[in-house]
């Protein structure tokens, strides 16, 4: 059943507004003779403005769940609701609108378009959204400045380091002021220090603009900045933890 938020005068009254809802989502991959069950009935609710980490070991179904939530692939069974709209019911135009305006994506492999400069990469979704050059060029430059790349806007991805490319990807994901940012292993290809910078950048953006951040990761550094953590294992949600309830102690090695 869809979770409905009663809206009166544009404000939710009494009920909680869930921006992402999954109801018993299943995904199976058909590999000829073998049926691989990547997701085996995942149900979750994510509130607006939360910073969520979906954590689990390799092969647990994090990326598959990421694809389901982001509308990048279709579940075999179950439903995904984004702002109470069942995304399986959307036609290609509405789905494209969703991906352009409502959701921003960040990938482990950055996925920048190699033939375009940083500015052009960031402004591409703005072009799809219908902005004209007079509007999108300054906006793109401003976004790149916000992530700390104001002086490299005309560099191509090959001329940028991994951390810088991921920053461009983050700027691109925020290009059309989306409500949700989905990140699939954002720190997977980055070293420790750069990873920390990226994580803190995401947290700052989450706090400042109230965008919901959903990150599928196995990087434990994410735990500290998340509001809630969904532990996933073998295609099912094993545990949901709130940050406040986690005890973390950091040790050090003395030689």
105 binds another protein (CB under 8 A): yes
Distances (CA, A) of 161 to 47, 69, 187: 34, 29, 13
Q: Under rule CB under 8 A, which residues in 160-219 are in contact with another protein? A: 172
Task: State which residue, 70 or 195, has the beta carbon closest to another protein.
Answer: 70
Q: Which stretch binds another protein (CB under 8 A): 11-19, 90-98, 192-200, 204-212?
A: 90-98
d(CA 62, CA 2): 23
Helices 162-173, 133-146: inter-axial angle, 10-degree rounding: 130
Q: Under rule CB under 8 A, which residues in 38-67 are in contact with another protein? A: 67
Q: What one-character DSSP code corresponds to residue 103? A: E
Sign of CA dihedral 131, 132, 138, 140: positive
Task: State which residue, 124 or 222, has the beta carbon closest to another protein.
Answer: 124
d(CA 66, CA 54): 9
Rounded least distance, CB 2 to another protein, Å: 7
Q: What one-character DSSP code corresponds to residue 113? A: -
Binding residue (CB under 8 A) for another protein from 35, 36, 77, 113: 113
Rounded least distance, CB 74 to another protein, Å: 7
Residues in contact with another protein by CB under 8 A are 2, 67, 70, 72-74, 84-86, 89-94, 96-101, 105, 107, 111-116, 124-125, 127-130, 172
């Amino acid at each position: 059943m869809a979770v409905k938020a009663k809206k009166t005068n544009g404000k939710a009254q009494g009920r909680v507004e869930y921006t992402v809802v999954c109801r018993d989502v299943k995904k199976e991959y058909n590999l000829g003779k073998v049926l691989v069950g990547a997701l085996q009935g995942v149900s979750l609710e994510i509130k607006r403005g939360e910073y969520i980490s979906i954590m689990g070991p390799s092969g647990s179904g994090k990326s598959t769940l990421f694809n389901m939530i982001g509308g990048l692939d279709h579940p075999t069974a179950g439903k995904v609701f984004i702002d109470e709209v069942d995304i399986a019911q959307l036609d290609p135009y509405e789905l494209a609108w969703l991906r352009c305006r409502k959701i921003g994506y960040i990938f482990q492999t950055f996925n920048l378009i190699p033939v375009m400069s940083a500015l052009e990469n960031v402004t591409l979704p703005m072009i799809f959204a219908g902005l004209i050059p007079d509007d999108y060029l300054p906006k793109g430059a401003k976004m790149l400045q916000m992530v700390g790349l104001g002086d490299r806007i005309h560099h191509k991805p090959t001329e940028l380091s991994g951390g810088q490319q991921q920053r461009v990807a983050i700027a691109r994901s925020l290009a059309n002021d989306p409500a949700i940012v989905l990140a699939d292993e954002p720190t997977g290809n980055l070293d420790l220090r750069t990873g920390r910078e990226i994580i803190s950048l995401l947290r700052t953006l989450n706090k400042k603009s109230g965008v919901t951040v959903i990150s599928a990761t196995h990087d434990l550094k994410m735990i500290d900045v998340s509001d809630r953590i969904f532990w996933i294992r073998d295609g099912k949600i094993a545990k949901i933890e709130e940050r406040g309830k986690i005890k973390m102690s950091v040790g050090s090695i003395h030689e």
